[in-house]
A and B are shown apart, each in its own frame.
Chain A
């Protein structure tokens, strides 16, 4: 049955044989696992079955995890006679989920408020009673298949409520201003037979609206220009600020002397268009940043600290000091550096890149970031979080990020040449009219400022952001999260790809090799339930419907025993170790011959295609791994990578990036572990896996999500190159507009109407061109 189901999952999914809760293939049964059955019972018991008719979640996503939910009650805030709590909720992907979560919680008698935010994956709850109830609510969510984590500072900064709102408010005000100024301006343009007094009245009406708008809505630009100026740079915001302020000043002077036109409409329309672009730009990247913050929040969580009296309490990682003692449960990740009083078995794949767990003797310094696979142990903390190895790594990342901050984007490079030229032209126009043509300085100001506002604008300032919005949005839908503003430009210019092995090129988790008798596999898997060893987990993945053996006992570092049946290492099962790498031995009963179950950390299905595709794009691949030479060589050969290095330390990986940069290469680093983080932050551009460690994701410019993350990479490079090409076209296009419009303005022929038409058409042209970046390669 199992074998059949594995061959024809598509057929089964198409039939009605999918799990009634999570929608994953259930191999003919009503549910795919016990967790889903319990979840379905809970939903039905609450009378919320309507959920199943409405949900649009991906198959398998809502399958409840066996893991205990994180301790969230420590984050509850006292509110009146009860508590408040904000949670990050993974799995919240459709409106029906929002409905189910809110209603399931509101069925609890002491809940006073429950509201989920679908865009931010955030759940706010409030209840009467003690803080500890928070964990009960998290448990309800976990039983439904949603994973809850405390809403962290990282989530908050990703949501960027305050800043994003300020920008939207400025946009709203600028849009209001520009439309209402037009009310007066269009009347002046059209009113050729208008009296002087009426014209003056309309000028002042426009000023009344425009002055506060320019003062308020322009603030984001003035601030950015001021910062750049103080750092001794010129940016596009400088041109925008000067253009807007000069235009407003000139218009005010025209209103004072009751000239033929004022240009308030140009100043406000410019602000509205540019702010609109920024709001969109921010929204596009905000979604990507939020998805990354969601991945990070799920990995976070507290630690269990032991007090002197033998009690244990959950506390935040930041609150732990050197000398504290922590209880590290089986399967828990070490958040801090420390030593254990007993021998331990740790999975160090994230810190060193080794694919197999390794034993550590008592009293040896244990690396933060490793996962405990043996029995629970007590960790004596040697350094607080801010002094530990992870913090040291984070400081290295900051240095890398600072170096990357000096990367000059295409828009800024264009601005460096363009801004001085535009300002020189405007100043020359002013001098020319005032000194040579002999008009008053107020009259000379009009063509000068007209030149300024016609040159500075839109087309150019929108040219690059518009392309970014479209390209970043299109990549997001394909599972490529772009978090850095200049990532696409850097990705477009990458000419080398450096890959990590464990977890990047490979799945990072072993898979069962060969065919085995289903009944035997099932019996072995029953025992494997009792262990968190990566091979035991892999066996369970190969045989997911085996029930747990009730009398199984794990002997850490050895194996699992249930009666006479044993599964574990060779010695434990009475077999002779044949040195074949990842092997689990299984002995069905005392007299039976042990059977070897072989595993391998398989390459991702898409690895060789991705490497070949990247090679075709001109990115030569190179493999850098902390693992042993033999497995690295195997992986390199299988993926078709010619150049590889094994046993590379994190510092050596970072040094390799610097060496490549010094040799003139622009490497794209792809990694997932803590040991890759430093290299990721030093690389020209970097990508990390969606299931990688938090530091690696924070260090990378791009996070690859989904089932085939590597396959998305060549597509992302193509999309980035295309976006870069379109951005260049856009800049060229807006310069072409200027070639026509600027002489017009310098000669004093431009009117506000011409300026408005130029601004609108050039903006529309570049935006339409930017939409081409959407196309899939």
Chain B
């Protein structure tokens, strides 16, 4: 029982952390362009040439 008092909130907390991260990724639009994101990783040069 005593172990549960520690472990249950810990497990729930980790789950919540995952949920908050998911909501953040959703809000910042990271699922809007899954195809684009997959190829963006291959762009090797800097976005803008130094002028």
Interface residues of A (CB under 8 A from B): 47, 50, 54, 94-96, 98-99, 102-103, 106-107, 109, 116-120, 161, 165, 168-169, 172-173, 176, 179-180, 183-184, 195, 197-198, 201, 205, 209
B8 to chain A, nearest CB (A): 6
Q: Which residues of A contact B36 (CB under 8 A)?
A: 95, 98, 116-119
Interface pairs (19), CB distance under 8 Å:
A54-B42, A99-B43, A102-B47, A103-B45, A106-B48, A109-B51, A117-B33, A118-B35, A119-B34, A168-B31, A172-B19, A172-B22, A172-B23, A176-B19, A179-B15, A180-B12, A183-B11, A184-B8, A205-B8
Given contacts A118-B35, A176-B15, A198-B1, 20 further A-B contacts (CB under 8 A): A94-B39, A95-B38, A95-B42, A98-B39, A99-B43, A106-B47, A107-B49, A119-B36, A120-B32, A161-B32, A168-B31, A169-B26, A172-B23, A173-B19, A176-B19, A180-B11, A180-B12, A183-B8, A195-B1, A198-B4
Q: How far is the CA of A106 from the CA of B22 in the complex (A)?
A: 31
Beta-carbon nearest neighbor of B18 in chain A: A176
Residue of A47, A119, A176, A198 touching B35 (CB-CB under 8 A): A119
A-side contacts of B47, CB under 8 Å: 102-103, 106
For residue A95, which residues in chain B have a CB less than 8 angstroms away from its CB? 35-36, 38-40, 42-43
Which of chain A's residues have a CB closer than 8 A to the CB of B51?
A: 109
- A94 to B33: give the CA distance in the assembly, Å: 12
- Counted as pairs of residues, one from A and one from B, with CB atoms less than 8 Å apart, the total is 74
A421 to B16, CA, bound (A): 39
CA distance A103 to B46 in the complex (A): 9
With a CB–CB cut-off of 8 A, which chain B residues contact A50? 45
Q: How far is the CA of A103 from the CA of B18 in the complex (A)?
A: 35
B interface bracket (residues with beta carbon within 8 Å of A): 20 to 34
Q: Which one of B11, B15, B19, B26 lies within 8 Å of A165 (CB-CB)?
A: B26
Main secondary structure of the interface of A (DSSP, over half): helix
Chain B positions within 8 Å of A, measured between CB atoms, are 1, 4, 8, 11-12, 15-16, 18-19, 22-23, 26, 31-36, 38-40, 42-43, 45, 47-49, 51
Q: A99-B43, A119-B35, A120-B33 are in contact. Are A169 and B1 (CB under 8 A)?
A: no
Q: Is the CB of B32 within 8 A of A119?
A: yes
Residue in chain B with minimal CB distance to A117: B33
A209 touching B39, Cβ below 8 Å:
no
> When A and B form their complex, which 10 residue pairs have the shortest distance between CB atoms, in order from nearest?
A95-B39, A118-B36, A117-B33, A176-B19, A118-B35, A180-B15, A119-B33, A172-B22, A106-B48, A119-B35
Q: Which residues of the partner chain A approach B45 to less than 8 Å between Cβ atoms? A: 50, 103
User: Which chain A residues border B12 with CB–CB below 8 Å?
Assistant: 180, 183, 205, 209
Contact flag A118-B39 (CB < 8 Å), given A106-B48, A172-B22: yes
A102 to B15, CA, bound (A): 38
Q: Is the beta-carbon distance between A98 and B40 smaller than 8 angstroms?
A: yes
CB contacts (< 8 Å) of B40 on chain A: these are: 95, 98
A161 to B36, CA, bound (A): 16
| A241 → B minimal CB distance (Å) | 23
The minimal Cβ–Cβ distance linking A156 to chain B, given in whole angstroms, is 13
CA distance A107 to B19 in the complex (A): 40
Which chain A residues lie closer than 8 Å to B32 at the CB level?
A: 117, 119-120, 161
Q: Give the residues in chain B near A98, CB-CB below 8 Å.
A: 36, 39-40
Cα(A466)–Cα(B37), bound, Å: 26
Q: Are A201 and B4 in contact (CB under 8 A)?
A: yes
A172 touches B26 (CB 8 A): yes
Q: Smallest CB–CB gap between A659 and chain B, Å?
A: 46
Pair B26/A168 contact, Cβ less than 8 Å: yes
**Nearest Cβ on chain B to A49's Cβ, whole angstroms:** 12
Chain B neighbourhood of A96, CB < 8 A: 39
| Chain A residues near B8 (CB-CB < 8 A) | 183-184, 205
Name the A residues within 8 Å of B33 (CB-CB). Answer: 117-120
State the Cβ distance, A119 to closest chain B Cβ, in Å.
5
CB distance from B3 to the nearest CB of A (A): 11
Chain A residue, CB-CB nearest to B42: A95
Q: How far is the CA of A514 from the CA of B16 in the complex (A)?
A: 73
Q: How far is the CA of A179 from the CA of B35 in the complex (A)?
A: 28
Give CA–CA (A357, B25) in the complex, Å.
54
Write the nearest CB–CB distance from B43 to chain A, whole angstroms.
5
Q: Which residues of B contact A168 (CB under 8 A)?
A: 26, 31
Taking the closest CB of chain B, its distance from the CB of A99, in whole angstroms, is 5
Contacts of A161 in B (CB 8 A): 32
B38 neighbours in A (Cβ, 8 Å): 95
Contacts of B16 in A (CB 8 A): 176
Query: Given the complex, which residues of A lie within 8 Å of B34, measured CB to CB?
Result: 119
* Cα distance A195–B11 in the bound complex, in angstroms: 21
- Residues of A within 8 Å of B4, CB to CB, are 198, 201
On chain A, the residues within 8 Å of B35 by CB distance are 95, 118-119
Q: How far is the CB of A104 from chain B (nearest CB, A)?
A: 12
Could you tell me the distance between the alpha carbons of A184 and B35 in the complex, rounded to whole angstroms?
A: 38
The residue in chain B whose Cβ has the minimal distance to the Cβ of A102 is: B47
Taken together as a complex, chains A and B put the C-alpha atoms of A656 and B45 apart, in Å, by: 60
Closest chain B residue to A165 by CB distance?
B26
Cα of A169 to Cα of B48 in the assembled complex, Å: 34
Query: Max chain B CB contacts within 10 Å: which of A106, A169, A180, A205?
Result: A180
Query: Cα distance A161–B42 when bound, in Å?
Result: 26
| A161–B1 CA distance with the chains assembled, in angstroms | 46
The complex places the Cα of A47 from the Cα of B51 at a distance, in Å, of: 14
Given the complex of chains A and B, what is the CA–CA distance between A205 and B34 in angstroms? Answer: 36
Which residues of chain A have C-beta atoms less than 8 A from B11's C-beta? 180, 183
Complex formed: what's the CA distance from A195 to B1 in Å? Answer: 9
- On chain B, the residues within 8 Å of A198 by CB distance are 1, 4
Task: Report chain A residues within 8 Å CB of B31.
Answer: 165, 168
Write out the residue numbers on chain B whose beta carbons fall within 8 Å of the beta carbon of A107: 49
In whole angstroms, what is the CA distance A340 to B18 when docked? Answer: 65
CA distance A161 to B43 in the complex (A): 26
Smallest beta-carbon distance B6→chain A, Å: 13
A331 to chain B, nearest CB (A): 33
CA of A120 to CA of B37 in the docked complex: distance in angstroms?
12
